[in-house]
Amino acid sequence: MSEITLVEAVRLALARAMEEDETVLLLGEDIGIDGGVFRATDGLIERFGERRVMDTPLSESLFAGLAVGLGAQGFRPVVEYQFMGFIYPAIDQVVNHAGRLRNRTRGRLTCPMVIRAPYGGGIHAPEHHSESMEALFAHIPGIRVVIPSSPAHAYGLLLAAIRDPDPVVFLEPKRIYRAPKEEIADDGVATPLDQCFTVREGRDVTLITWGAMIIETLAAAETLAAEGVEAEVIDVATLKPLDMATILSSVERTGRCAIIHEAPLSGGVGAEIAAGLANRGLVNLLAPVGRVAGYDTVMPLPRLEIYYMPTQERILRTVRRVLAYA
């Protein structure tokens, strides 16, 4: 067992999956010799060879289509996009083929492919490098959307995604790629998909979040605890399909809720969660659901990025407003 970062946990999971299953292939721009932009695949071409770790041309739609074909024919391709902002040319393949293949063939074929991409802001990168567009993929039928928030979850969830018989979009919050660290045993044990994780228990308010925003949310919960308010923190982890049962159970106990995400407010996954609470948990709510999110604008890079990103202070203001509601 060793203490590693989130990006190292991704590499560890990829290596484990490739060791266990020779049908697991890696595709992407500069993932071989260079080891990827963030070095997530560093050293894997030396271990597994260029037939299983393949550098692709600069054609995002092309290698998404290649992955669909490989998945349909018995392979388990894992595709890396350098940044989420580069993933959009692949949406044609994801919507029209990967997400439809099981239904189109009435179950005769499946598409066990994983699309990996660093996502989110916080590193002062140029345009197209700080996107949080997870809601686009959550809207596509037939697609799972998974976002880890820690090294342990990155390892276990990625293994589960690779082993899943259907396509998974696996978004990695690059702001926490190298901090914090966790001890992880490379035991090949997958973390279950399609369920939320309660990372802090509480009785007064439920805070729902995912990805890198877990850092600010837990910090806000610590501040609230010093004020005598015990916040329960839920890491959604799998955004599609959404585990509303865990969320509803928490809100039934606390009666109050705030949803925190980095993506723009309008049309976000937070809105879907709020709708689920309104439809199935309204009788348990003692206050309107609070939401803390990015703004409905392109990430204002680079100097205004800190004003766009939800902060601990913004979370606390929203939670206090929810708590004050009579």
User: How confident is the model over 115-132, as pLDDT tens digits?
Assistant: 999 999 999 888 888 999
Cβ neighbors of 224 (< 8 A, separation 6 or more) are 204, 205, 230, 231, 316, 319
**Percentage above 90 pLDDT, the chain:** 94
Q: Which residues sit opposite 169 in a β-bridge? A: 115, 145
Section 199-206 average pLDDT: 98
Residue 78 confidence (pLDDT) = 98
CA distance 72 to 65: 11
Q: What is the CA radius of gyration of the chain?
A: 20
Residue 212: is its pLDDT beyond 80? yes
Residue 1 confidence (pLDDT) = 75
Residue 144: is its pLDDT beyond 80? yes
Q: Answer whether 172's CB lies under 8 Å from 154's CB.
A: yes
CA distance 133 to 147: 12
Residue 232: is its pLDDT beyond 80? yes
The identity of residue 292, as a single letter, is V
| Residues 80-107: tens digit of each pLDDT | 999 999 999 999 999 999 999 999 999 9
Section 224-242 average pLDDT: 98
Section 140-168 average pLDDT: 98
Q: Is the peptide bond before 241 cis (omega within 30 degrees of 0)?
A: yes
Instruction: State the sign of the Cα–Cα–Cα–Cα dihedral 291, 302, 151, 20.
Output: positive
Residue 288: is its pLDDT beyond 90? yes
Residue 147: is its pLDDT beyond 90? yes
| Residues 25-47: tens digit of each pLDDT | 999 999 999 999 999 999 999 99
Residue 125 confidence (pLDDT) = 87
| Residues 56-87: tens digit of each pLDDT | 999 999 999 999 999 999 999 999 999 999 99
Residue 152: is its pLDDT beyond 90? yes
Residue 326: is its pLDDT beyond 80? no
Which phi and psi (to 5°) does residue 88 adopt? -65, -35
Residue 200: is its pLDDT beyond 90? yes
CA distance 255 to 82: 41
Among 285, 289, 236, 294, smallest CA distance to 261 is for 294
Binned at pLDDT 50, 70 and 90, residue 249 comes out as very high
Active site residues: 129
Among 149, 105, 100, smallest CA distance to 260 is for 149
Torsion, Cα 145 179 16 108, to 10 degrees, reads 0
| Residues 164-173: tens digit of each pLDDT | 999 999 999 9
Whole-number average pLDDT of the chain: 96
CA distance 311 to 326: 26
What are the structural domains of the chain? 2-184 (3.40.50.970), 197-324 (3.40.50.920)
Residue 126 confidence (pLDDT) = 82
Residue 301 confidence (pLDDT) = 81
Section 271-281 average pLDDT: 98
Binned at pLDDT 50, 70 and 90, residue 226 comes out as very high
Residue 135 confidence (pLDDT) = 97
Among 324, 205, 196, smallest CA distance to 254 is for 205
- Judged by DSSP in three states, 290 sits in strand
Binned at pLDDT 50, 70 and 90, residue 241 comes out as very high
Section 296-309 average pLDDT: 88
